[in-house]
């Protein structure tokens, strides 16, 4: 029998290759022998029976764990220190905040966006103009990434069985007077704020993604306070699928049309309109609505699937 490491011994024993009733080479003849050789037995595989092997394995594992515990904090501190030094050096090289000669200001593309963005897209909020007009393709991809993630979570977590634990927790929550009263005051405000962010994405800060996240968190809060059945009246699995797919299809078709008509994002049915009006900036408002719908549904869908196993 050839010499093996301890791991190979364990593997061989696991596969039933070794019969321990016959003492092999490298094995101590008697238990007393192993005891007399003391700590030296640690380095040499000396398994006699199940208990001895288990004890040996435990000692081996403990030794590895101890080594890991000792190295881990040292490595963490080292890596964090190195990264911090690099980042701090980069920070000292940055141009001062708001200065005229930052790379962002001196780029030709950025100057075009800032100077002609308002007249070309009709969006007062230039960020919305860039995101949903000049760079609408990126936002389309982002929405599809979210949709794909939601599909994956749906496939993984969708289950028909009721989860007893969440039911128990929900019973406690639904009786909570503080939660109910706070929810009654807060949820309409949060929903209203989210809708405002989505609708005024082209006029002020915000847009489809942030507004959708706010609406999604309002839905989560509503589901926490009053139970998911109430949400399910308006948003069940079927209407969830239909809503998200419609929003995504609308976005894709609108952008296909825009690419079809010159691919520069300027040709829309509505035209830029009067900057500053709610109904202006061409397709930006409907696109914001579509993105907001997708994001709100996805956020709520994640929560519902993680807690209930269904939307």
CA distance 144 to 37: 66
Per-residue exposure over 228-255, b if at least 16 CB sit within 10 Å of its own CB, e if not: beebbeebeeeebbeebeebbeebeebb
Distances (CA, A) of 84 to 71, 76, 89: 20, 12, 8
Contact 281, 121 (CB under 8 A): yes
Q: Taking contact as CB under 8 A, which single stretch among the options 12-20, 136-144, 208-216, 259-267 is the one that binds other proteins?
A: 208-216
Contact 206, 199 (CB under 8 A): no
**Interacting residue with other proteins among 86, 137, 257, 306 (CB under 8 A):** 306
Per-residue contact string for residues 85-124; x = within reach of other proteins by CB under 8 A: ------------x---------------------------
- When asked if residue 209 is in the footprint of other proteins (CB under 8 A), the reply is yes
Q: Taking contact as CB under 8 A, which single stretch among the options 23-31, 214-222, 252-260, 272-280 is the one that binds other proteins?
A: 214-222
Least distance from C-beta 306 to other proteins, angstroms? 4
Least distance from C-beta 185 to other proteins, angstroms? 17
- When asked if residue 240 is in the footprint of other proteins (CB under 8 A), the reply is no
- When asked if residue 213 is in the footprint of other proteins (CB under 8 A), the reply is yes
Query: From the CB of residue 97, how many other CB atoms can be counted at a distance below 10 Å?
Result: 6
DSSP 134: I
Q: Taking contact as CB under 8 A, which single stretch among the options 54-62, 114-122, 210-218, 225-233 is the one that binds other proteins?
A: 210-218
Alpha helices, DSSP H only, in 130-281?
Answer: 136-157, 164-174, 177-199, 208-226, 228-234, 237-260
Chain residues that interact with other proteins, rule: CB under 8 A: 97, 127, 165, 169, 197, 204-207, 209-210, 213-214, 216-217, 220, 299, 302-303, 306-307
């Amino acid at each position: 029998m050839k010499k093996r490491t301890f791991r190979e011994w364990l593997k061989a024993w696991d596969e039933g290759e070794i019969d321990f009733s016959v003492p092999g080479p490298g094995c101590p003849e008697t238990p007393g022998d192993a005891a007399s050789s003391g700590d030296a037995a640690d380095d040499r595989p000396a398994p006699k029976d199940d208990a001895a092997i288990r004890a040996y394995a435990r000692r081996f594992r403990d030794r590895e764990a101890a080594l890991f515990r000792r190295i881990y904090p040292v490595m963490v501190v080292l890596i964090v220190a190195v990264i911090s030094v690099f980042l701090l050096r980069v920070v000292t090289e940055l141009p001062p905040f708001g200065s005229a000669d930052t790379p962002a200001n001196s780029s030709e593309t950025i100057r075009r966006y800032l100077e002609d963005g308002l007249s070309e897209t009709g969006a007062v909020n230039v960020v919305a103009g860039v995101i949903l007009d000049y760079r609408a393709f990126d936002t389309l991809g982002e929405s599809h990434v979210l949709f794909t993630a939601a599909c994956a979570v749906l496939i993984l977590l969708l289950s028909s069985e009721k989860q007893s634990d969440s039911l128990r927790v929900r019973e406690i929550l639904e009786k909570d007077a503080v939660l109910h009263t706070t929810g009654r005051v807060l949820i309409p405000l949060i929903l209203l704020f989210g809708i405002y962010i989505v609708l005024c994405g082209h006029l002020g800060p915000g847009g489809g993604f942030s507004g959708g996240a706010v609406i999604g968190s309002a839905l989560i809060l509503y589901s926490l306070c009053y139970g998911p059945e109430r949400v399910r009246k308006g948003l069940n699995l079927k209407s969830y699928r239909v809503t998200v797919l419609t929003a995504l299809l609308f976005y894709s078709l609108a952008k296909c049309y825009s690419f079809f008509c010159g691919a520069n994002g300027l040709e829309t049915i509505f035209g830029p309109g009067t900057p500053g009006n709610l109904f202006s900036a061409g397709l930006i408002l409907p696109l914001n609505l579509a993105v907001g719908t997708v994001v709100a549904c996805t956020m709520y869908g994640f929560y519902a699937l993680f807690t209930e196993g269904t939307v």
